[in-house]
Chains A and B, each alone.
Chain A
């Protein structure tokens, strides 16, 4: 997030796109509702009629995979009606003309044809967003998990730049991160192209710094992303894999393919709390401890570094992930000898400018938002104040592109996936929680009443859902939360693994898979 969670509550307008916030980020959802009670205007864009729609001034029920058309049309209206912040555009941005030229053809009527959203609603949304004194955009995987994922995000950024809604309180471009430490994992360089703090592996200076600090030769060639790794395993370019705390067999698209690729590996080591569906394919399984059994730090979605403290002794012979990696590092002859998590954090701070001023002692009960370059720096709740990190904010001219899969005669429905309030990701944790399991312990695929009627389905009937890659059987929940022609499944339940259906078509830039759009067939089972 460019801004903080608490600021959401005092924004004058909030634009939620591709985020079912009340279920996936409940405490941020609370703040959106509070903002509405305080008088904020709310725009919700989502293929599903999610709970937040009950609070929205405008609900933009777009067809899955049509974000850019919608966002470009909003930009079109903002420009046409003279609602843009010209001073901001002039002082702080570049490439404005390219944007202007591109959005010219995205009239609300043109966008209506692509998105299915009535033109008048697009106009209302654009006015609300642009006319508000402060407007905040919140988005999640509904925006990013598309073949156009990167362009979708760039179109969001365009809106913020057009209206000057960035670099000031109660505004911003705010991705809500779905996992406790996905921000931290990125910050720490668990990415194929960067070291910590987004220092590029192709940058010789950065490489020299890390080479010197670590005492090893480092590769300057960016590595493979998660989806590419599995294909590389299939081609035998990858022979050995080390998977820590992930369950790609259930979480990654096209599970059958993932399984096949894992089977091709000569050696797979999986480190986890449980014998996950992925761990079953491993040659070696290393037992790790939960968050409650170790010390360290997580970074939340607002870039706040917060302490994790050990409450319990490790279960059985399980060890903290850092201890296990340390042991492997020792055995590989790297000369490591980390005694505690803090030793590692000190090294991180020394090598990462945005973390340089952070230490365990400073984190206290509130944590610190990075960037925090020095020990007397209070942290940075709001990014891009006065200046963007790259200097000027760059408009991006992006065009709508159809999703990789479209419904056809054989696969007439669009499946979109996500999470529900009572479960989390592949269910390894929540399905082992007694209370949560009691509330919900099976998939209930959402289908529109009209579609259900056509298929002669009753509530809780079993259906066979198939795509070009696989099939699963699921119970149905008949609800107008989903529009006609769209069905929704979670990926929490291994018995009905939705990712057997999804495709690995992905965004060429971010390599994020298009989990939000899969053409499927639904039949009564």
Chain B
């Protein structure tokens, strides 16, 4: 691969010629703010928050769309750059609700983070503000388009990754908004509720209903695990607070790039269903009666021994499970085989 020599913030680098300034900076551990950039989506250069100063260039190019070239000298946090970013943020704030206190995105909001970073407290620009009705018609997340900053990541994720293409920009200029064809509710569109739009929204425009008012990022522990539904094996981080799941972040670094479906993204709340079995049960006179583990396990072991002694090991059979772990399947077949039978199978055929 062809290499070029560039300088970023005084640091000399040799990088792939195919890189953008943003990618080159990231490869050197230099973070440039972005709203509309996502490594797997088409580069659109829409939000302009990633502008940088390039020596010899008249204006400030967007780092996410500008390719590096030999000898390029780049400043990512110069006075001019910071001034431009501040104006950019002020323009967003001119038309953005200032309800960070209660906004679910607080703590993981890029608008908030960059405003803090560049000390932008509001907007000197006064004017009309959007008034969109809150859309909370679908059972998984609500849409507050008043908070939308038009980065378009949701639109691209839906079209380019999911393929549903359920949402697009509609209307022009000040009236424009991200919505479905003919502006119908999401659930009447081609949307399949995968939630991938929610997970790329940089602000509070798209918010999961699960964990509402209970999911501040600094309060939750994130545990990496693997989805229990189909065989795709998507991995994600469960947000845990006070021993409850309150949310989820896809594993964007995982092999499946953080792609999700509705069951995996939103279908985990069965964990705390009131129907969960909490104690062993033993049937007595046709009714289940609560039992201790010792009672239940002793009974199981003695029955297995009894049946084996009376009818031989092949009178016992076990169905293991494609839902449980490898370790559990291993132990299950080891148990049956140790009893002397190969009568062990599971639901692979179903």
* Chain A 287-321 residues near chain B, CB threshold 8 A: 287-288, 290-302, 304-313, 315-321
A residues adjacent to B (C-beta < 8 A): 4-6, 22, 24-30, 33-34, 37, 144-145, 176-193, 195-196, 201, 210, 214, 216-219, 221-227, 229, 232-233, 237-246, 248, 251-252, 266-267, 269, 272-275, 282-288, 290-302, 304-313, 315-322, 324-329, 331-332, 334, 338, 341, 344-345, 347-348, 365-367, 421-424, 428-430, 432-436, 438-439, 510-513, 515
* Chain B 219-238 residues near chain A, CB threshold 8 A: 221, 223-235, 238
Chain B residues contacting A295 (CB-CB under 8 Å) are 325
27 contacting pairs across A/B (C-beta < 8 A): A26-B261, A29-B163, A176-B231, A191-B348, A223-B344, A224-B343, A229-B317, A239-B307, A239-B310, A240-B307, A245-B320, A246-B346, A248-B319, A267-B303, A269-B303, A282-B283, A284-B283, A285-B277, A287-B277, A291-B226, A307-B224, A308-B226, A316-B276, A322-B325, A331-B300, A439-B187, A515-B350
Chain B residues contacting A224 (CB-CB under 8 Å) are 317, 343, 345
Chain B residues contacting A238 (CB-CB under 8 Å) are 314-317, 343
Interchain CA distance A329-B254 in the complex, whole Å: 36
Stretch of B3-11, B29-37, B167-175, B331-339 that contacts chain A:
B331-339
Chain A residues contacting B301 (CB-CB under 8 Å) are 328, 331-332
Say whether A285 contacts B329, CB under 8 Å.
no
Say whether B298 contacts A186, CB under 8 Å.
no
Stretch of B17-25, B76-84, B98-106, B265-273 that contacts chain A:
B265-273
Say whether B337 contacts A219, CB under 8 Å.
yes
Known contacts A179-B230, A190-B345; A219/B225 CB under 8 A: no
Say whether B325 contacts A341, CB under 8 Å.
yes
Mark interface residues in B205-223 (1 if CB within 8 Å of A CB, else 0): 0000110000000000101
Is B347 interfacial (CB 8 A cutoff)?
yes
Say whether B320 contacts A311, CB under 8 Å.
no
Chain A residues contacting B329 (CB-CB under 8 Å) are 181, 184-185, 188-190
Say whether B271 contacts A244, CB under 8 Å.
no
Neighbour of B342 across the interface among A223, A244, A292, A348, CB < 8 A? A223
Q: How far is the CB of A174 from chain B (nearest CB, A)?
A: 11
Interchain CA distance A283-B329 in the complex, whole Å: 22
Chain A residues contacting B269 (CB-CB under 8 Å) are 432-435
Stretch of B59-67, B148-156, B240-248 that contacts chain A:
B240-248
Say whether A304 contacts B233, CB under 8 Å.
yes
Nearest 10 A/B pairs, CB to CB: A316-B278, A300-B233, A296-B325, A245-B321, A223-B342, A177-B231, A33-B163, A26-B261, A331-B301, A287-B277
Say whether A275 contacts B231, CB under 8 Å.
no
Q: Name B's interface SS.
A: mixed
Say whether A321 contacts B338, CB under 8 Å.
no
Is B324 interfacial (CB 8 A cutoff)?
yes
Neighbour of B293 across the interface among A191, A327, A423, CB < 8 A? A327
Interchain CA distance A191-B177 in the complex, whole Å: 55
Chain B residues contacting A178 (CB-CB under 8 Å) are 230-231
Say whether A430 contacts B322, CB under 8 Å.
no
Is B193 interfacial (CB 8 A cutoff)?
yes
Given A290-B271, A326-B331, A432-B270, 15 extra CB contacts under 8 A: A5-B232, A22-B192, A180-B226, A223-B341, A238-B315, A240-B304, A242-B336, A251-B350, A284-B281, A304-B255, A309-B225, A316-B276, A321-B321, A423-B263, A515-B350
Q: How far is the CB of A240 from chain B (nearest CB, A)?
A: 4
Interface size, chain B (Cβ < 8 Å): 111
Say whether A26 contacts B345, CB under 8 Å.
no
Is B349 interfacial (CB 8 A cutoff)?
yes
Say whether B279 contacts A190, CB under 8 Å.
no
Interchain CA distance A311-B223 in the complex, whole Å: 6
Is B14 interfacial (CB 8 A cutoff)?
no
Is B71 interfacial (CB 8 A cutoff)?
no
Chain B residues contacting A217 (CB-CB under 8 Å) are 340
Say whether A325 contacts B331, CB under 8 Å.
yes
Interchain CA distance A196-B288 in the complex, whole Å: 36
Say whether A430 contacts B283, CB under 8 Å.
no
Interchain CA distance A317-B303 in the complex, whole Å: 22
Q: How far is the CB of B274 from chain A (nearest CB, A)?
A: 9
Interchain CA distance A222-B158 in the complex, whole Å: 49
Interchain CA distance A185-B279 in the complex, whole Å: 26
Say whether A422 contacts B262, CB under 8 Å.
yes
Q: How far is the CB of B11 from chain A (nearest CB, A)?
A: 28
Interchain CA distance A516-B318 in the complex, whole Å: 26
Say whether A316 contacts B338, CB under 8 Å.
no
Q: How far is the CB of B24 from chain A (nearest CB, A)?
A: 25
Interchain CA distance A433-B269 in the complex, whole Å: 5
Chain A residues contacting B133 (CB-CB under 8 Å) are none
Chain A residues contacting B162 (CB-CB under 8 Å) are 30, 33
Say whether A320 contacts B255, CB under 8 Å.
no
Say whether B268 contacts A433, CB under 8 Å.
yes
Chain B residues contacting A510 (CB-CB under 8 Å) are 349
Is B328 interfacial (CB 8 A cutoff)?
yes
Residue of B at shortest CB range from A244? B321
Is B128 interfacial (CB 8 A cutoff)?
no
Say whether A187 contacts B304, CB under 8 Å.
no
Interchain CA distance A144-B275 in the complex, whole Å: 34
Q: How far is the CB of B206 from chain A (nearest CB, A)?
A: 15
Say whether B209 contacts A435, CB under 8 Å.
yes
Say whether B140 contacts A435, CB under 8 Å.
yes
Chain A residues contacting B254 (CB-CB under 8 Å) are 365-366
Interchain CA distance A336-B28 in the complex, whole Å: 51
